[in-house]
């Protein structure tokens, strides 16, 4: 039995002040995803975006991230700060 690994291509990557943002395209599904890593809090978030919004989502990932995921990040940050 073989396990198929998803082939993704990284289209863009940037890092600023401990936050990394990467833009991926999946060959298998033809979907675009944004991966957000906050090294300061050791948190990761990955979500799909529409292809026509990919570059804008890469530039402004928090505007495109699902609301529930952002709520969880904020809760974690508040717990870390107290």
Tell me what pLDDT residue 1 has: 36
Domain boundaries defined on the chain = 8-81
**Cα–chain-centroid distance for residue 1?**
31
Average pLDDT over residues 50-67: 92
Per-residue exposure over 37-70, b if at least 16 CB sit within 10 Å of its own CB, e if not: bbeeeebebebebeeeebeebbeebeebbeeeee
Per-residue pLDDT tens over the stretch 1-58: 333 446 899 999 999 999 999 999 999 999 999 999 989 888 889 999 999 999 999 9
Q: Which residues contact 44 (CB under 8 A, 6 or more apart)?
A: 35, 36, 37, 38
Tell me if the domain spanning 8-81 has CATH number 3.10.450: yes
Tell me what pLDDT residue 41 has: 82
């Amino acid at each position: 039995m073989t396990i198929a690994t998803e082939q993704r291509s990284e289209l863009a990557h940037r890092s600023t002040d401990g936050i990394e943002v990467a833009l991926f395209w999946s060959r298998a599904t033809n979907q675009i995803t944004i991966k957000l890593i906050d090294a300061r809090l050791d948190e990761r978030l990955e979500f799909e975006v529409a292809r026509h919004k990919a570059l804008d989502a890469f530039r402004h990932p928090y505007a495109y991230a699902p609301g529930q995921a952002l709520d969880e990040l904020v809760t974690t940050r508040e717990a870390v700060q107290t």
